[in-house]
């Protein structure tokens, strides 16, 4: 269902963008960029989805509830926050692992901290792209002002008692 | 001067390094192979085949959405008013500049090679560090393209909605904090 909603929404956006691009006389360039982007992304996506599938199999489901369940408290939040940035691969890997953990009995708070920790501080993103493209100072500045965010979001969720 | 500025931004708007095999892809392949081997070692190659088959089916369902998202991500930079955006997020742009930078992070699609290059381009074109921090933070937490293509594919929608709601103020706060830190360092 979620997939269908996203597909329909993106179809509308793509139709609008396609019309604007053609109206601006940039149709050919848009097509070339699209093909380049697709050639770059699709192989990575295939490998990443396979990797996410294997990693999800390896998640020790029996230990998830103990480590990240409702009673795991701060320990679960801290562990989840640390695991986020060291998760390799793209968005799909962290989202797939988060979803697997939720199904296996993790509370919403730790999964929130995990997904947020990956989003903000993925080591692959920082080392492969942010440091080389933006430089050290902007990278450290960003980390300095956002490092508590994953813990904070997880703690808010935990304190409010949201989720299973 | 203006020409040079425009050049920097233009270069930053084109997708970054696009080698077919780069270090990110190599890491991904190694992780996948190791994880696959671990599954094979524990459950046998038959199970590896099952997981792979299941993944391919999933990819088939995802493909229309992914292709649409890729088109949007590839084409939208062509429509962006680059200089206008750069002028909106300068040093004296105040809260409005942070809001524009945050909105740009939500709406401008693309992976890390594109987004960090764009942020570097904004910096080179006169945006302040606060705006760049707001943009990168917003892209990291709230990129619409990633939420639609990936997050909603895997995670339940109420989880996603809660995460978005809680993350909404973060980019602007982060940008304002960065500005405050820089003022303090300059003083």
Written as one string, the DSSP assignment of B126-149 is TB-HHHHHHHHHHHHHH-HHHIII
CB-CB contact of A38 with A79 (8 Å): no
pLDDT in tens, A45-97: 888 889 888 988 888 888 999 999 988 889 999 999 999 999 877 787 899 89
Number of structural domains in chain A: 1
CA distance B31 to B154: 20
The two tokens of residue B97 are 């500049």
CA distance B62 to A7: 8
Q: What's the pLDDT score for residue A164?
A: 57
What's the domain range around A142?
26-160
CA nearest to B123, candidates B99, B101, B96, B144 = B101
* A11 belongs to a structural domain: no
Q: What's the pLDDT score for residue A56?
A: 86
Question: What average pLDDT is seen over chain B?
Answer: 84
Per-position DSSP letters for chain B, written without gaps between them? -HHHHHHHHHHHHS-----SS-HHHHHHHHHHHHHHHHHHHHH-HHHHHHHHHHHHHHHHHHHHHHHHHHHHHHHHHHH--HHHHHHHTBTT-HHHHHHHHHHHHHHS---HHHHHHHHHHHHHTTB-HHHHHHHHHHHHHH-HHHIIIIIHHHS-HHHHHHHHHHHTTHHHHHHHHHHHHHHHHH-
Contact check, Cβ <8 Å, B136/A142? yes
B94 pLDDT band, cuts 50/70/90, is confident
Rg over alpha carbons for chain A, rounded to the nearest Å, is 19
A1 pLDDT band, cuts 50/70/90, is low
CB within 8 Å of A135: residues ≥ 6 apart: B120
* A17 belongs to a structural domain: no
* In chain B, where the domains are located: 2-186
CA distance B102 to B107: 9
Q: What's the pLDDT score for residue A122?
A: 94
Q: What's the pLDDT score for residue B114?
A: 81
CA distance B135 to B115: 9
Residues 46-75 of chain A with CB under 8 A from chain B are 46-55, 57-58
Q: Is the pLDDT of residue A109 over 50?
A: yes
Q: What is the mean pLDDT of residues B28-53?
A: 93
CB-CB contact of B76 with B118 (8 Å): no
B14 pLDDT band, cuts 50/70/90, is very low
pLDDT in tens, B128-142: 899 999 999 999 999
Half-sphere exposure of B149 (CA within 13 A, CB side): 28
Q: What's the pLDDT score for residue B105?
A: 93
Contact check, Cβ <8 Å, B51/A54? yes
Dihedral sign from CA coordinates of B164, B169, B175, B181: negative
Q: What's the pLDDT score for residue A142?
A: 97
CA distance A151 to A136: 24
Q: What is the mean pLDDT of residues A6-10?
A: 85
Q: What is the mean pLDDT of residues B66-73?
A: 87
CB-CB contact of B110 with B15 (8 Å): yes
Q: Which residues of A touch B123 (CB under 8 A)?
A: 134, 138
* A80 belongs to a structural domain: yes
Closest partner residue to B18 among A40, A102, A149, by Cβ?
A40
Q: Is the pLDDT of residue B7 over 50?
A: no
A154 pLDDT band, cuts 50/70/90, is very high
pLDDT in tens, B141-170: 999 888 988 898 889 989 999 999 999 999
Q: What's the pLDDT score for residue A62?
A: 85
The secondary structure of residue A126, as a DSSP letter, is I
- Separation of CA B35 from chain center: 26
Closest partner residue to A153 among B18, B24, B166, by Cβ?
B166
Mutate to test the interface with B, among A6, A139, A140, A153 (most CBs of B within 10 A): A6
Q: Is the pLDDT of residue B122 over 90?
A: no
A5 pLDDT band, cuts 50/70/90, is confident
Q: What is the mean pLDDT of residues B100-127?
A: 85
The two tokens of residue A4 are 């269908």
Mutate to test the interface with A, among B68, B114, B177 (most CBs of A within 10 A): B68
CA distance B150 to B82: 27
Residues 14-73 of chain B with CB under 8 A from chain A are 15-16, 18, 20, 22-25, 27-29, 31-32, 35-36, 38-39, 42-43, 47-48, 51-52, 54-55, 58-59, 61-62, 64-73
CB-CB contact of B101 with B175 (8 Å): yes
Kindly identify which residue of chain B lies nearest to residue A102, measuring between CA atoms.
Answer: B155
Lowest mean pLDDT among A118-132, A142-156, B74-88: B74-88
Q: What's the pLDDT score for residue A114?
A: 97
Q: What is the mean pLDDT of residues A91-104?
A: 89
């Amino acid at each position: 269902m979620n997939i269908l909603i996203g597909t329909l929404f993106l179809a509308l956006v793509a139709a609008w963008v396609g019309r604007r691009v053609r109206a601006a006389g940039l149709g050919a360039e848009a097509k070339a960029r699209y093909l380049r982007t697709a050639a770059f992304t699709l192989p990575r996506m295939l490998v990443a989805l396979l990797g996410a599938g294997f990693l999800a199999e390896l998640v020790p489901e029996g230990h998830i509830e103990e480590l990240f369940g409702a009673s795991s408290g701060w320990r679960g939040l801290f562990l989840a926050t640390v695991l986020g940035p060291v998760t390799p691969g793209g968005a799909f890997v962290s989202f797939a692992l988060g979803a697997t953990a939720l199904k296996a009995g993790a509370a919403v708070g730790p999964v929130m901290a995990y997904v947020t920790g990956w989003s903000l501080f993925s080591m692959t993103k920082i080392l492969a792209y942010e440091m080389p493209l933006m430089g050290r100072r902007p990278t450290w500045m960003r980390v300095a002002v956002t490092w508590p965010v994953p813990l904070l979001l997880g703690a808010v969720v935990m304190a409010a008692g949201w989720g299973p | 001067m203006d020409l040079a500025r425009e050049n920097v931004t233009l270069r930053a708007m084109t997708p970054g390094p696009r080698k077919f095999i780069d270090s990110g892809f190599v890491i991904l392949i190694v992780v996948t192979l190791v994880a696959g081997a671990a599954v094979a070692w524990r459950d046998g190659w038959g199970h590896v085949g099952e997981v792979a088959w299941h993944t391919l089916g999933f990819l088939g369902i995802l493909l229309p959405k992914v292709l649409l998202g890729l088109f949007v991500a590839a084409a939208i930079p062509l429509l962006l008013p680059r200089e206008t955006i750069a002028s909106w997020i300068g040093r004296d742009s105040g809260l409005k500049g942070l809001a524009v930078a945050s909105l740009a992070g939500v709406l401008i699609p693309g992976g890390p090679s594109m987004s960090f290059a764009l942020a570097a381009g904004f910096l080179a074109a006169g945006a302040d560090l606060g705006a760049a921090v707001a943009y990168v933070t917003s892209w990291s937490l709230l990129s619409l393209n990633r939420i639609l293509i990936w997050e909603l594919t895997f995670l339940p929608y109420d989880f996603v909605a809660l995460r978005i709601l809680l993350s909404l103020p973060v980019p602007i706060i982060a940008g304002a904090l960065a500005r405050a830190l820089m003022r303090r360092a300059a003083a």
